[in-house]
Amino acid sequence: MAEHNADRDDNPTALVTGGARRIGAKLVQTLHDAGFRVIIHCRRSRDEADALAAYLESERRDSARVVTGDLADPATCERVAEEAIAQWGRLDVLVNNASTFYPTPVGTITADAFDDLIASNLRAPTFVAQAAAPALRERGGAIINIADVHGERPLADYPVYCAAKAGLIMLTRTLARDLAPDVRVNAIAPGSILWPEGPAGDDPTKRQAVLDATPLGRQGTPEDIAGALLYLVRDAPFVTGQTLAVDGGRGL
């Protein structure tokens, strides 16, 4: 995607799902710093989304908005995309970042957990992308799906999550073919970037095991994911259908 100046009519627009907190908030901030107007989607984190939007508005007027909704509902996916496009009458980039992550060991998997993990990690990106596709085609835009290294390298006790992310990687490839040549579609597969919230992320033994399994011997940062996002959005006009692992080598 070409560079854009600060003129209001030329500023590109990006929708980031799950953009209020953690890695999503860093992706929003990075796109904003690069000259994008941003639409921050959230489900429950409205206070954080509003605070982030207010901060970005203080940096550059008329540059940040918030949309809300539970993307488990395909109708809500369509509404969120439509509201995002309506903010400034265009959409140049869609970042499918919203996700749920929790274990489902074999023997404990329920239909509700299965549906929830598939809905957030695969179904929602499908329906948001479908609704956004016409506007993205008009702009020669891009879709970036936030996948996971465990979409290709299984994680013990997370079979449903891993299957959903594997599906997202294949969705990336099929959308890249179906939306070409107008829209580029790529994915980023993070390794360990932020520890999970709650007990799953508090165990020092598990943390050390993750680091030991990472050839670079350290955890990544949200800035690492943001850098990959900018590359795929701005600096890779001949790249589509690819999954870029940002994992310190953990997938090797």
Tell me which residues are annotated as active site.
161
Cβ atoms of residues 98 and 43 within 8 Å:
yes
Both tokens assigned to 90: 């265009």
2, 19, 114, 136, 190 from 173: Cα distances, Å: 23, 23, 23, 17, 17
- Residue 54 Cα distances to 63, 69, 94, 180, angstroms: 10, 19, 21, 36
CB environment 48-63: b (16+ within 10 A), e (fewer)? bbeebbeebeeeeeeb
